[in-house]
Amino acid sequence: MAENEAIPEFDGAGEDPAGDHDPALPPEPLHPINWNLLTAGDAEAEWLELNRWVNWLRTTYGLPASVVPPFWHRHSELVWELSALHLHWLAAYDAEQNASAPLGWHRDFADARQRLRDWVAASGTRLDRDRPTRQTVWPGEDPAEPVEETVIENRDEDFVAWMLADVVARQQAEDEFYAGLDPETGELRD
């Protein structure tokens, strides 16, 4: 997105962010997103939707990088937290929801902002650079690789490359799994 390009409004009500929903059909019911189990196709759709919503969230609420950093997508702890917050927002602003549900979302959003600050501080991600979240090595495990920061010049390009790499890895895992199936029985070959 260009610097001077306006960020689109995102009200979530009656719009299909992916642009592929048939308005004659009811939208799919909300369900938790288990990022560990998504297929390649589902992951791509979820990444794009979450990225769009996080961009809306950070600009609507003026959130600093200490709460929602540009490279949140590189840190699973931030992905899980933001994904849960997104689903909670969708449910709170559903047309069928109780009128006080948005107040509950804002109360929970206050708690989530503190957790996000904690995750950002632990991860070490910054406004213009990123490093993998440090991992504590338990007794008996191999020593951790050195953690180095990477300067990232274009956040949107980095997100797209990150998402595509994730989708490709998921697709490869799916292809390997299906290649191991016996086509006649549907069972895994030895």
Residue ranges of domains in the chain: 40-133+149-172
Terminal alpha carbon distance of the chain? 48
What are the distances in angstroms from CA 24 to CA 11, 14, 20, 74, 87?
20, 12, 12, 37, 23
The per-residue pLDDT for 8 is: 46
Per-residue pLDDT 10s for the chain (190 aa) are 444 445 445 444 434 444 444 444 446 778 899 999 999 999 999 999 999 999 999 999 999 999 999 999 999 999 999 999 999 999 999 988 999 999 999 999 999 999 999 999 999 899 999 999 988 999 999 998 888 898 999 999 999 999 999 999 999 998 888 887 778 787 877 7
Q: Is 183 helix (H, G, I), strand (E, B) or coil?
A: coil
The per-residue pLDDT for 7 is: 46
In angstroms, rounded to a whole number, what is the distance separating the alpha carbons of residues 159 and 54? Answer: 12
pTM for the model? 0.80
The per-residue pLDDT for 27 is: 61
The per-residue pLDDT for 184 is: 79
Measuring CA to CA, which residue among 91, 94, 51 is closest to residue 70?
51
Do residues 151 and 128 touch, judged by C-beta distance below 8 A?
A: yes
The per-residue pLDDT for 1 is: 45
Does the CA dihedral 52-147-133-128 come out positive or negative?
negative
Do residues 162 and 132 touch, judged by C-beta distance below 8 A?
A: no
Tokens of 90: 């969708």
Q: Is 130 helix (H, G, I), strand (E, B) or coil?
A: strand
Tokens of 86: 């997104």
Tokens of 152: 């990232």
- CA 87, distance to chain mean position in Å, is 11
What are the distances in angstroms from CA 69 to CA 39, 125, 157, 177?
26, 7, 15, 35
